[in-house]
Structure 1
Amino acid sequence: MERNQASDKWFQDSAARSIHQEQLSRVELFNGRAAMLGIVIGILTEALTGQGIVHQIGLGPLVDGYAACSARFLPFCF
């Protein structure tokens, strides 16, 4: 009887791992497609507006301040 329960648990665990792996595969595929779409939209917006992706997401002042920083203080320009 105990051996049968151990066997059942092994099958349940194996099925759960298989389902989890399938779900993980689908989620990773969706995330990759969403990232590719986001990059394409960012590049198209950059072509239309002239603003880079960094400016589009609101980090433009940070990049602009870093570029305007003096070269001798470069490590401390954050």
Structure 2
Amino acid sequence: MNQQQAGDKWFQDSAARAIHEQQLEQVERFNGRAAMLGIVIGVLTEAITGQGIVHQIGLGPLVDGYAACSAKYLPFCF
């Protein structure tokens, strides 16, 4: 590999790394905004319906079962 080819490979590698970092930054920004939007929607729905976020996503029986464990009503209580 001569000097010109080595320089070209270095330039291509550094350009590819810069493009990857830029794409990663855009994806992470989108994920953060989507998460914030989801939390806001969950809190607004909780305010409207009176059901917590855990109940909204279908995990309410698990939380309710855990609360009932103090009375030893469920078989998986410790």
- Shorter chain as normaliser: what TM range? 0.7 to 0.9
Q: Secondary structure at the match of 2:32?
A: helix
Residue identity over aligned pairs, in percent, reads 83
4+ residue stretches of structure 1 with deviation over 4 A?
none
Gaps of 5+ in 2: none
1-structure distance, mates of 2:59, 2:40: 19
Residue in structure 2 matched with residue 60 of structure 1 by the alignment: 60
1-structure distance, mates of 2:3, 2:66: 66
Q: TM-score, normalised by structure 1?
A: 0.87
Q: TM-score, normalised by structure 2?
A: 0.87
Residue in structure 1 matched with residue 43 of structure 2 by the alignment: 43
Question: CA RMSD of the aligned region, Å?
Answer: 1.9
Count of matched residue positions in the alignment of Structure 1 and Structure 2: 75
Residue in structure 1 matched with residue 2 of structure 2 by the alignment: 2
